Structure 1
């Protein structure tokens, strides 16, 4: 499967519902099954990197019902302000505490399962900085390459206990897609509790059918993806579709498949028809930096541009100049990420702003000759990614 003729590399992401029991704690039977399939791939000459969810669910099982009352009754420290909440409204401090309790226990369960096949698990905790800072990116890539060369199986998760934004990178599906780019994977496999992507939600539509292959992820396909599929997961099909988009934009084909299907990893790697939904890789790959800009950093604002500026960005891959900006939305600083939209409100690009929001508001619509030398491009083309 490797394009270069050497050992292929597959990144396998496993969701919480696939590696933990409904009541919490690692599902040892499921882990044993997956470990056996990982061992079979390695025996056949394919390196495997695992991205495993389940730390929070494992931590919750360890403490039972104790953590929530304890945290709810705890007085906030002086000057701490309101408690931070995740996107779905949950207490971030609680989630981080549960992850810290559960992460090493989850890794131990993976290590025990892999040890049954003579393999060694290696814990790798990553943070957004590892993808956004080039030296950190190269260091992380070298570390993962060394682990694979040693015959270890990296088990990756976000460094949840110290994440300063939210408990997750967005979700582990997104993290897995970025890891696939990091290790130049030949394939990304997103294992979940459904057989793949359907034409509609099969839980409510009996006529829904499995989509075997996707050439391009469009809005109609995104509309077909529903919300979270289980009580313990944080992603759902929409998150997996977003991860597939990230991976395919970086040149990595992706498959969404059911974790519980016997021999699923071998079948997916072999390209067996009828197993999961396969997403084709785009022929034009994004660089690591542009992939980070497009998908790994949250936008802090939005720039609305006129038709001339949009044409220059899309057709000529030019930089965005202040003259083409008709509106500046939000409050952001220099080097923050911003969305770029047309007058119709449709976002078509994303980039890093060279100036803060107030400076761009003052410069918007003015030609370069009318601006001081310190105000150049609003977004340089090297820091801009088209999302079309």
Structure 2
């Protein structure tokens, strides 16, 4: 039974495994110090959830903000990649120490995991992440996860912990994700607007929902913003995972949000298999193919991508890579595992199957991307 309301996050029969993401603006004050007393109340809520029978995974921001203050970097340590990496290397030590101390107060064991986008893009490493989190939870530990900003570069980083939280939820088969942030949900326009109204529920993230988002991080401390949270919601909803954005500023923020039903709940849309969820959540690609309107219609009916419908090829991909499928406007309509390398796709695109054997010099495969390895966006 999927989560359908905020109170379901407290019900172990509905939410057996929960991911809680905490933003930098909540965790770190303006002087670069961890908000210890506030965080202690969150740890108390983690303990309460565990007592109810709910397994909890934490995605914790804050290392760059902490380290930047200690190193005296202006701009929160985000002015250059080198400063961000140096800040993270200093901040992670303190952040891990604080989590370990506070969880130990509740007789809970903290386990640190530092991950990069590459770890999730590799199927083998993704499965290793899943196995490690599962074993930690089975052992009674609380995994505390952050992006490994000490080594992550622009090509291999999430850039925000909202999408990291959604991908972690996929990897560990969580039922729900709660993003604790410095706003109390998604508004139909900027929250400062006098006529802004909060959306209590979103049944599928659409282009209209994206248009409501503010692209920046309001605090200036974190790297997210509402756009990142909507992208996280899309990752979660395709894997059958509910995601909520709630105000994390009060003490005991989870209890307050549940009691008042204040926040925005993004309902799960479809529950994909583990492999399909991994494909749908991919964020980095070596290339893409463009397809005509007829192909898009076929894909929406559960068909495969055939060479005859391909109009354009981009990038440098090999057989077995995950690539994007775009319509004639350039919008991504699907992601999937390609059966040919880029040279072969360029050679057979636009051709019917009976022509492809002569072009390739061997019998063609049944599809360029088979429907079994295709995920619609």
TM-score normalized by structure 2?
0.87
How far apart are the structure 1 equivalents of 2:342 and 2:55? 46
Q: What do the CA deviations read for 1:148-177 (whole angstroms, capped 9, x no partner)?
A: 233221101123323355473242111111
| Residue 5 of structure 2: aligned partner | none
| Residue 175 of structure 1: aligned partner | 164
How far apart are the structure 2 equivalents of 1:360 and 1:335? 13
Task: Tell whether 2:208 aligns with 1:220.
Answer: yes
| Residue 297 of structure 2: aligned partner | 311
Alignment of 1:195-234 (within 5 A): 195-203=184-192, 205-227=193-215, 228-234=217-223
Say how many residue pairs are matched: 363
Task: Tell whether 2:22 aligns with 1:14.
Answer: yes
Deviation for aligned residue 1:66: 8.8
How far apart are the structure 2 equivalents of 1:362 and 1:19? 54
How far apart are the structure 2 equivalents of 1:212 and 1:3? 19
Alignment of 1:300-339 (within 5 A): 300-315=286-301, 317-339=302-324
Query: CA contact under 8 A between 2:121 and 2:284: conserved in structure 1?
Result: no
Which of the residues 261, 264, 274 maps onto 1:274? 261
RMSD after superposition: 2.7
| Residue 80 of structure 1: aligned partner | none
Give the direction of change, closer, same or farther, for the CA distance of 1:287–1:6 in structure 2 (3 Å limit).
closer
Deviation for aligned residue 1:244: 1.3
Give the direction of change, closer, same or farther, for the CA distance of 1:44–1:286 in structure 2 (3 Å limit).
same
| Residue 366 of structure 1: aligned partner | 351
Deviation for aligned residue 1:226: 0.5
Which of the residues 35, 47, 61 maps onto 1:27? 35
Q: What do the CA deviations read for 1:290-327 (whole angstroms, capped 9, x no partner)?
A: 22322223233332212222222221x22212211112
1:160 partner SS:
coil
| Residue 96 of structure 1: aligned partner | 85
Alignment of 1:142-291 (within 5 A): 142-163=131-152, 165-166=154-155, 168-203=157-192, 205-227=193-215, 228-268=217-257, 271-282=258-269, 284-291=270-277
How far apart are the structure 2 equivalents of 1:361 and 1:208? 49
How far apart are the structure 1 equivalents of 2:31 and 2:72? 9
Structure 2: runs of 5+ lacking an equivalent: 1-7
Q: What do the CA deviations read for 1:92-136 (whole angstroms, capped 9, x no partner)?
A: 333222212211211111122222222221111223454344443
| Residue 383 of structure 1: aligned partner | 373
| Residue 119 of structure 1: aligned partner | 108
Give the direction of change, closer, same or farther, for the CA distance of 1:223–1:361 in structure 2 (3 Å limit).
same
1:328 partner SS:
strand
Structure 1: runs of 5+ lacking an equivalent: 70-88
Query: CA contact under 8 A between 2:324 and 2:336: conserved in structure 1?
Result: yes
Give the direction of change, closer, same or farther, for the CA distance of 1:118–1:35 in structure 2 (3 Å limit).
same
Query: CA contact under 8 A between 1:229 and 1:237: conserved in structure 2?
Result: no
